[in-house]
Amino acid sequence: MKLLLIGFGVVGQGLAQILRDKAAELKSKHNFTAEIIGVATASKGALYRSSGLDISALLQAAEGGSFVDFPDQPGLRRDMTVREMIMIGEADVLVEASPTNLETAQPALDFCYQALEAGMHLALANKGPVALDYAGLRAKARAKGLLMRYEATVMAGTPTMRLAQDALAGCEIRSARGILNGTTNYILTQMEKGLSYDDALAQAQAQGYAEADPSGDVEGWDAAGKVLILANALFGGKLAMADLAVSGITAISAADIADANAAGQRYKLIARATPDGGEVKANRLPLDDPLASVGGATNAITLETDLLGDITLIGAGAGKLETGYAILSDLLAIQRRLTAKRNPPANPS
Ligand code: HSE
């Protein structure tokens, strides 16, 4: 499988590291091999090589902050635009892992449409295109017979979308409620331990949890993007940001947190999606609420279903390998689909 990576920050590097370190296991257990043939970033530059880029060299160059130091190799190009990398038509999957823009979803949204037009499947970690134009992208992918996967956009590699869409197929999901932002949950947890808001945020940034612009995390917009993704993907809605009531954690002080604790409660930023709408709001939960015990960058979601009651999934919500793995899980799903297409089951006689 040939990959084109847009963005090579925490998530792109996480995926690259997994592809390198698990290459033998993925080949032997899943007959899966992947080559990164193109990488395009806003800050480090761009690289393209039809026969694949050396992953260790990519990671080393990224550590230095620029692809200028990536060693020259036969066939290596450093001058291609994303559009040219897409239009040359050599990649099977566009991996969109550039920073999320929840106002316009651009430039990622245009790249996604160009990739679908060129016959490439999509694996998105970038929440913008899925949150703002789920229905349009889904329609285009279907019309082209291509897959659009976006496991990384909600709860990193914790299999939220696969649980809801694959494992729970046949159940009606009535609502989704959870802690969907790792940065704010980490900050609230650390503040409860006595750290200042600023120090806790700095730690969340250092650990790679926060967005490039962390105001999107702390003001609730990142969780709101996930609410849109859940609402539109699970409930077939056509909600927009303006339909949601959104607030974050910036107004919560150390005194508020101590106050809640003294009353046997804990602040959590709760995101909720239903077929009719959604919201993001800091709530004081009683300590015996299952979501109250979810600390640090960990996320949790409770899906309310018709046949199974409530199902709660708890796991990583952010991080380098955690989110890189989400993309790997999408790539494996795309490979399973391609394999099934190539080898359809024999007709029963
Ligand atoms: N900034 C996000 C978070 C990353 O903190 O949850 C994962 O979407």
Please tell me if the CB atom of residue 211 comes closer than 6 angstroms to any atom of ligand 1: yes
Measured from the CA of 226, which atom of ligand 1 is nearest?
A: 8
Do 312 and 146 touch, CB atoms closer than 8 A? Answer: no
Among 150, 211, 322, the mutation site with the greatest number of ligand 1 atoms within 8 A of its Cβ is 211
CA distances from 323 to 100, 226, 236 (A): 14, 14, 25
Ligand 1 centre distance from Cα of residue 234 (Å)? 20
Residue nearest to atom 1 of ligand 1 (CA): 210
Cβ neighbours, 10 Å, residue 224? 27
348 pLDDT above the threshold of 60? no
Mean pLDDT of the chain: 95
Q: CB under 8 Å to 324, separation ≥6 — which residues?
A: 11, 12, 13, 14, 15, 16, 17, 18, 157
pLDDT band for position 347 (50/70/90)? low
Residue nearest to atom 7 of ligand 1 (CA): 318
Do 93 and 123 touch, CB atoms closer than 8 A? Answer: yes
Ligand 1 centre distance from Cα of residue 329 (Å)? 18
CA distances from 285 to 29, 103, 179, 295, 314 (A): 43, 31, 12, 13, 17
Measured from the CA of 183, which atom of ligand 1 is nearest?
A: 5
CA proximity to 80, closest of 53, 113, 120: 53
Residue 311 has a pLDDT of 95
* pLDDT tens digits, 267-302: 999 999 999 999 999 999 999 988 999 999 999 999
Measured from the CA of 181, which atom of ligand 1 is nearest?
A: 6
Ligand 1 centre distance from Cα of residue 153 (Å)? 9
Cβ neighbours, 10 Å, residue 266? 22
Note if 226 is an active site residue.
Answer: yes
Q: Is 299 left (phi over 0), alpha (psi -120 to 50) or beta?
A: beta
pLDDT band for position 75 (50/70/90)? very high
338 against 142, higher pLDDT:
142
What does the angle CA 285 – CA 248 – CA 184 come to, to the nearest 5 degrees? 75
Ligand 1 centre distance from Cα of residue 22 (Å)? 24
Ligand 1 centre distance from Cα of residue 158 (Å)? 13
Percent of the chain whose pLDDT exceeds 90: 92
Percent of the chain whose pLDDT exceeds 70: 99
pTM of the model: 0.93
Residue 341 has a pLDDT of 80
Average pLDDT in the 187-213 region? 93
* Edge-to-edge order in the sheet of strand 2-6: 46-48, 35-40, 2-6, 93-96, 121-124, 148-149
R_g over Cα of the chain: 21
Cα gap 175→52, rounded to integer Å: 43
Please tell me if the CB atom of residue 298 comes closer than 6 angstroms to any atom of ligand 1: no
Catalytic residue among 44, 127, 140, 226: 226
Cβ neighbours, 10 Å, residue 202? 15
248 pLDDT above the threshold of 60? yes
Residue nearest to atom 4 of ligand 1 (CA): 318
Residue 211 has a pLDDT of 86
Q: Using CA of residue 71, residue 77, residue 83, residue 88, what is the dihedral sign?
A: negative
Do 150 and 232 touch, CB atoms closer than 8 A? Answer: no
CA distances from 113 to 43, 83, 109, 153 (A): 23, 11, 6, 18
pLDDT band for position 176 (50/70/90)? very high
Please tell me if the CB atom of residue 187 comes closer than 6 angstroms to any atom of ligand 1: no
